[in-house]
Amino acid sequence: MDLPIPFLLLPHTFDHRNSHQWIGLCKDIEHWLVEDVNTSYPQWEWGRDAFWMAFIGSYPMFLDGKWHHWDPDIPLDRQFI
């Protein structure tokens, strides 16, 4: 299945040192996963890993600080986390 991935490619202005830009990317991926991708598609697993990478970029002190509550349809159960 050819499923568009609207948050890629990252814009050339994306600054990986800026947590606000990571937060925007994280929200875009979260929306895509929850609204556009069926969990039975292989893109969903890839997108879930991409979400967690962006989430950690957004909240590098995750579990030791404050963070955005993500959609519960995205489980916290991968080796990445």
80, pLDDT greater than 70: no
Q: Is residue 72 part of a domain?
A: no
| Per-residue model confidence (pLDDT) at position 36 | 94
Would you say residue 78 lies in a domain? no
Q: Is pLDDT of 79 > 80? A: no
> For 4-8, which contacts have Cβ atoms below 8 Å and span 24 or more sequence positions?
5/32, 5/43, 5/47, 6/32, 7/32
Structural domain includes residue 53? yes
| 47 part of a folded domain | yes
Tens-place pLDDT, residues 27-47:
999 999 999 999 999 999 999
Question: How many other C-beta atoms can be found within 10 angstroms of the C-beta atom of residue 76?
Answer: 12
Tell me whether residue 27 is in a domain. yes
**CB contact set of 19 (below 8 Å; sequence gap of 6+):** 57, 58, 59, 60
Residue 63 forms part of a structural domain: no
Residue 31 lies in a domain: yes
pLDDT digits (tens, 9 = 90+) for 5-27: 999 999 999 999 998 999 999 99
Give the span between the Cα atoms of 15 and 24, in whole angstroms: 12
Q: Which domain holds residue 29?
A: 19-58
Number of domains into which the chain is organized:
1
